[in-house]
Structure 1
Amino acid sequence: MGIRRRQRGREHRGGISLNNLRTSREWNGRAAEAYRDLVPSQADGLGEIELFAEQLRTSLESLANSIETFWLAVKSAFVVFVVGAVGAIATACTVVGIPATIGAIATAVGVSLGLVITAVTALNSHVNTIEPQQSALNEKIHDLGTEWAKTNAELSDSTTRDGDRSNWELDS
């Protein structure tokens, strides 16, 4: 599924280029020239956004995998505790097994706590590892800027019968 997303992004980015847009081949005029000047910077901007989104996706998938692993370890610890407790209760059914029950429960608690502590430590370690990556992504957000490339030229006047010169002329 991740490969599909990347391919769609590349197709989308590739779709915004002068070679792929009919407008740059079929029209002339002031607006067409402004449009031809504008499209490459917009394609570059889209490429930067695409790269950022891919890095963000990778980082978030990595964090999600770590969180899933953490909860799997917590569930495993719970299962270990329940199995140990059930075994201890079964052992306690006999008078002779009561001293062993205390040891079995202590062992189950100890193993379960060890698994939870290991899971918490692993998750904390991963979060600390990706923290610089998240900071770098945050910086990239600022580097992308707040403005999309645009032109000051009027691109909307394509009428030919309103008495003024059109900004778009059909390429003949």
Structure 2
Amino acid sequence: MPVEIDIAQRLATIADATLEIVAADGVDGVTIRAVARRIGGSTTLVTNYLPTREALLRNAVEHAMRSWGADLDAAVADVPARERLAAIARWACSTTGDDLVLRRLFMEILGRGAPESEAHRVLREDSRQNRGALADAAADAGAADPAFAADVLDLALRGFYVSSLEDPESWTTERVTPLIERLVRLLTTVR
């Protein structure tokens, strides 16, 4: 009788191995062979699910975004609609767990990947969805121009992601959170 395989779990295992390689060796270290070695299997174990290096990177990005989505949902679950923008912004300027590795991966994909690549497309779509969520939350917070507030916050938060890679000792969660909170107040109280 064939063994039942949980495809979602297998893809998560491959994504985790891919991210471990990015943390240790950077994006250049990600190969099908390296991922297979990391999970203790043959290359066929990987290529049965993800046939190319590009697919490995896309899978890792999608896995990370699902994890971040679950974290964000938990962070805003009991927050009143009017305070959701501030909660989203606080969550987005935190640096925990694999955040720095993921930001490094995303920056490398954006800087080195072709704009038509699958991983690049996933990042672009995520960015658009995030701006939409920020705009909705800004409207709930009473911002005079929710789209403008979302654009400004998105630029500030994305800038933090780059700054946290450039100078992680200076651009910490503790330093950035009060700045982002003040920006949210400015964007939602000016009429």
Structure ranking higher on relative contact order (CA contacts 8 Å, 6+ apart): 1
Give TM-score, length-normalised by structure 1. 0.26
Choose 1 or 2 for highest CA Rg: 1
